[in-house]
Structure 1
Amino acid sequence: MKKIVLARVDDRLIHTEILTLWVPEVRANRILIVDDIVAKDKFRSKVIKEMAPDGLIIHVYGIDRAVEKLKEPPSFDGERVIVIAESPIVFEELMKCGIRITQLNIGGMGIRGERKTVARRIACDDREMESIQQMIRKGVHVYFQTIPKKSWEEAKKYIQE
């Protein structure tokens, strides 16, 4: 199984903070974006992959393919993977398929659709709140943190049962 060094919810998926702050912080050399819609959009997938600086590999997969890839042994010695999705629901699904997630960083979930503000820069709909609660119950450390050097807050402080 791949070594996941950061599991992150960020509805922007890939952006400068990920590439310049998180990648060096966790010493990642691979990013796996998990999104069924983006994976089917060849143009958007290509743009995301082209953002990779030298030494970093970016893949875009739907959930099923991501599960297959994450269950594979490391592609090379020292492989360190960041997994990013737009919603905690994706990580709950990955866990149901046997992917081990011990910590979940929630970095940015903007207001859209039925989402309501939960904390600064974090908005969730009822299903996303339920997903976070399920993961906390299963022993996953779920926390809110935008960038590595900023303090983090426990999600359970804001997500009540």
Structure 2
Amino acid sequence: MGQINLARVDDRLIHGKVMQKWTKGLGTNSVYVVDNATAADDFMKSVYVSTNSTGGLKIKVYSTKEVGEEWQKNQFGDDKVLIVFKNVKEVKESLDNGLKLDELCVGGAAKKPGTVEKPIPDVSLTAEDQQTIKAIADEGVKVYFQSVPESKRVDYKG
């Protein structure tokens, strides 16, 4: 059975902070990108998947439906996974599609119109994001905010 080493929301998906900071020290051998738009775009999907050769990690791209199905099928096989979601809405959709998470790190959400809360410097949330995070936490997922492993972890208090 596979293992989810980290589930993270980061609107930039795969970038240096994710690949260099978060995959190290966890025994991670795979990064799963969960983003409906990327999963539906064959070119972008191939760009992400091709990055595995540079870091030695397997990269897979899933829609929220596909990641739920993959978890239900075999709990990700032998992969030790860092899952990176584009946004909290797609985390909730993935849970609704059968993915199981114990914890969720929200670490990268750029400021956008309608932002009303900024729990840490790298995370800006809309009212809708806050409602979605509450719904995720209400399902028993421990949610926290943290930019990089060495930064302070701020637990969601609902």
Compute the TM-score of the two structures, normalised by the length of structure 1.
Answer: 0.86
Measure, in 1, the Cα distance between the counterparts of 2:62 and 2:154: 29
Asked if residue 61 in structure 1 is aligned to residue 50 in structure 2, the reply is no
Pair 1:48–1:140, CA change in 2 (3 A): same
Pair 1:62–1:75, CA change in 2 (3 A): closer
Pair 1:75–1:138, CA change in 2 (3 A): closer
1:99 matched to which residue of 2?
A: 99
2:141 matched to which residue of 1?
A: 140
Pair 1:154–1:40, CA change in 2 (3 A): same
Contact kept in structure 2, 1:111 and 1:117, CA below 8 Å: no
Count of matched residue pairs: 156
Contact kept in structure 1, 2:34 and 2:64, CA below 8 Å: yes
Return the letter of the residue paired with 1:102.
Answer: D
SS of residue matched to 2:92: helix
Measure, in 1, the Cα distance between the counterparts of 2:73 and 2:81: 12
Deviation at 1:54, TM superposition (A): 4.8
Deviation at 1:72, TM superposition (A): 2.8
Measure, in 1, the Cα distance between the counterparts of 2:122 and 2:9: 12
SS of residue matched to 1:13: coil
Pair 1:32–1:111, CA change in 2 (3 A): same
Measure, in 2, the Cα distance between the counterparts of 1:49 and 1:121: 26
Identity, in percent, stands at 27
Unmatched 5+ stretches in structure 1: none
1:110 matched to which residue of 2?
A: 110
Pair 1:47–1:133, CA change in 2 (3 A): same
Unmatched 5+ stretches in structure 2: none
Contact kept in structure 1, 2:13 and 2:85, CA below 8 Å: yes
Deviation at 1:75, TM superposition (A): 6.1
1:14 matched to which residue of 2?
A: 14
Compute the TM-score of the two structures, normalised by the length of structure 2.
Answer: 0.88
RMSD: 1.9
